[in-house]
Structure 1
């Protein structure tokens, strides 16, 4: 069985985590959430790691949750793999970098709000389709998106569910730079190496200072969103909409 998360470390102090389920557009299932959380915690504890880089194999960054797997695991308690990963990423003391190509949907888009540097391929498209599935926003996106891009733009993405192209996402402040596909990974590597070469304690303290003003609010928002999300997930409307989407995907997996 192929590994769905590729992990590597460089002598320069960089840990690479790369989602590797391209045949499913890198949709995350429960095992992947567990492994991501385990590897993230290992990298945080490893004193030789100064920077953590997230990327994905294949044409798309992440199509969101594996919906079939998600319906089989609807109880979102505090020890649920998804909840554990959300709080761990929000709390990560080390710089987090991401390179995004193709589609970043749902959790694949909201997790970018918790990255410290984001580089988009010129074919990247971000989408937050929670309401279309009868669900609600997650990962503190109801807090962070309006802060980052303003209320009306956040409503365009969260309420209307409009897709956002790479150039607009960068212009709105959701990414640092847009690059041709061939330049995406080299640019990410260069930024990671620059960060890893900086004084470790100064880097950690600086990120902590940047995050401190609203860290508690982020965690409270994550928890409040999850309460609404679980209620929505149990509803007939959401389960019908998710079931219909799954049926369409099975009928036309490349559509």
Structure 2
């Protein structure tokens, strides 16, 4: 397991913490693979009842590592690791609590759609800037976000792609609660302990029942989104947007 991921299990709670603070926990393809393995291991561990997904720093996840994705864009398997990760977290039997201390961009936000409880700091900021990068929604967001917020709000979030606050995320139903930043870790652990104390099989069956009616549809959407995302990575629009991001300038789409 990479040093970019901290995994510990104590009192029936497995904590999986992103640990790349200098990049605000931007995900590389290797990190996707490590996350997938950590989730599979925790879900299969009889000593684990709750999975807590968080960060060692004040950022949750700033999305995909752009340089890593540019380097891998020409590879046909470039989206295999993200897809496997998304399929894994969507299919976990055990409950997942996400703890969001700060920035959550792109996959850092869409991953929350697959968690069962999400607790965020009042300093957290969320953004889904897919179209701004010449890309399309991922992580099942084209299905799950309209279900939460309706078409118009989902369009605003996924296409206009402006940042929004923890209070707005709570209003949308994307997160369960907003707490003071200094209390976040303690309160999240308290919720994890409460959940771990419940009847474990009843919790797992209840989660499965809540997810069962969209399971097949979500599986199909995850695959379809990744195919379209991969195609967009090869587009001239995405090339301009990603290059502009690397050069810290606004993209110029006027020629398209």
After TM superposition, the score normalised by the length of structure 1 is 0.94
Q: Secondary structure at the match of 1:143?
A: helix
- Deviation of residue 57 (structure 1)? 2.1
Q: In structure 2, how many angstroms separate the alpha carbons of the residues matched to 1:117 and 1:160?
A: 26
Q: In structure 2, how many angstroms separate the alpha carbons of the residues matched to 1:165 and 1:232?
A: 28
Task: Specify whether residues 135 and 20 from structure 1 end up closer, same or farther in structure 2 by C-alpha distance, changes over 3 A only.
Answer: same
- Deviation of residue 238 (structure 1)? 0.3
Q: In structure 1, how many angstroms separate the alpha carbons of the residues matched to 2:104 and 2:78?
A: 25
Q: Secondary structure at the match of 1:15?
A: strand
1:253 equivalent in structure 2: none
Name structure 2 gaps, 5 residues minimum.
250-256
After TM superposition, the score normalised by the length of structure 2 is 0.93
Contact map agreement 2:72 2:78 (CA 8 A) in 1 = no
Contact map agreement 1:76 1:83 (CA 8 A) in 2 = no
Contact map agreement 1:78 1:84 (CA 8 A) in 2 = no
Q: In structure 1, how many angstroms separate the alpha carbons of the residues matched to 2:18 and 2:61?
A: 8
Contact map agreement 1:119 1:177 (CA 8 A) in 2 = yes
Name structure 1 gaps, 5 residues minimum.
250-255
Q: Secondary structure at the match of 1:58?
A: coil
- Deviation of residue 77 (structure 1)? 4.2
Q: How does 1:1-255 map to 2 (within 5 A)?
A: 3-10=3-10, 12-74=11-73, 75=75, 77=77, 80-248=80-248
Could you give the per-residue CA deviations for residues 159-204 of structure 1, whole angstroms, max 9, x where no partner exists?
Answer: 1112110011112211111011111111110111111111111111
Task: Specify whether residues 48 and 100 from structure 1 end up closer, same or farther in structure 2 by C-alpha distance, changes over 3 A only.
Answer: same
Could you give the per-residue CA deviations for residues 19-54 of structure 1, whole angstroms, max 9, x where no partner exists?
Answer: 000100110011111111111111111111111000
Aligned residue pairs: how many? 247
Segments of 4+ moved more than 3 angstroms: 75-79
Aligned Cα root-mean-square deviation (Å): 1.5
1:252 equivalent in structure 2: none
